């Protein structure tokens, strides 16, 4: 099964902050069972997520997440075959809106706030890959 990495971003629905722990818990449980790794960035407004794994598992997971009513305006950024995982240690690393994370945005974006629609796929991947070192 080909290894695939998919990146998307979406707009969080109001009040979803309360659900983050539950989202992460169910994500990590499911991802662990299906050999999916990745990272999720949430700044209170946007989600940016990378999903890695077998092509079928990534595709199925993405469609399930896309149907989740807790976010909207989902935009696929990239979906590529890959030789190795970047987030192999994480069933789902998570980064919130901290000062340290905002500094990463400034490094890879023309803005000091996360605006994924104005960032390239490569910049978003760099943000997630560097952010995982700060994640939990
Ligand atoms: P069930 O738990 O049976 O729920 C049925 C439906 O209700 C689904 O459409 C579900 O999305 C929705 N739902 C569940 N809880 C709530 C709630 N509290 N409020 C409103 N609607 C609800 N899942 C993964 O497996 N891996 C991931 O990496 C992952 N990342 C996610 C990232 C984001 C930004 C979001 C919003 C969700 C993510 N999820 C992830 C969760 C995923 O969308 C599903 O909710 C979860 O996988 C359970 O799926 P299910 O079909 O068993 O739904």
How far is ligand 1, taken at its centre, from the CA of residue 20, in Å?
11
User: Are the C-beta atoms of 90 and 10 separated by less than 8 Å?
Assistant: no
| Total length of the chain | 136
What does the pLDDT profile of the chain (136 residues) look like in tens digits?
A: 799 999 999 999 999 999 999 999 999 999 999 999 999 999 999 999 999 999 999 999 999 999 999 999 999 999 999 999 999 999 999 988 888 888 889 999 998 889 999 999 999 999 999 987 665 5
Token pair 């983050």 is at which residue? Answer: 20
The protein residue with its alpha carbon nearest to ligand 1, atom 11, reads: 68
Q: What pLDDT is stored for residue 133 in this prediction? A: 67
How far is ligand 1, taken at its centre, from the CA of residue 22, in Å?
9
């Amino acid at each position: 099964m080909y290894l695939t990495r998919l990146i998307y971003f979406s707009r969080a629905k109001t009040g979803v902050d309360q659900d983050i722990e539950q989202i992460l818990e169910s994500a990590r449980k499911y991802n662990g069972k299906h050999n999916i790794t990745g990272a999720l960035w949430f700044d209170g407004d946007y989600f940016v997520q990378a999903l890695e794994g077998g092509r079928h598992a990534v595709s199925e997971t993405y469609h399930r997440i896309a149907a989740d009513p807790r976010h909207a305006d989902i935009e696929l950024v990239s979906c590529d075959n890959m030789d190795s995982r970047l987030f192999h240690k994480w069933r789902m690393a998570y980064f919130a809106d901290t000062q340290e994370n905002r500094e990463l945005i400034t490094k890879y974006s023309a803005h000091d706030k996360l605006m994924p629609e104005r960032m390239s796929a490569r910049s978003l991947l760099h943000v997630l890959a560097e952010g995982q070192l700060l994640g939990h």
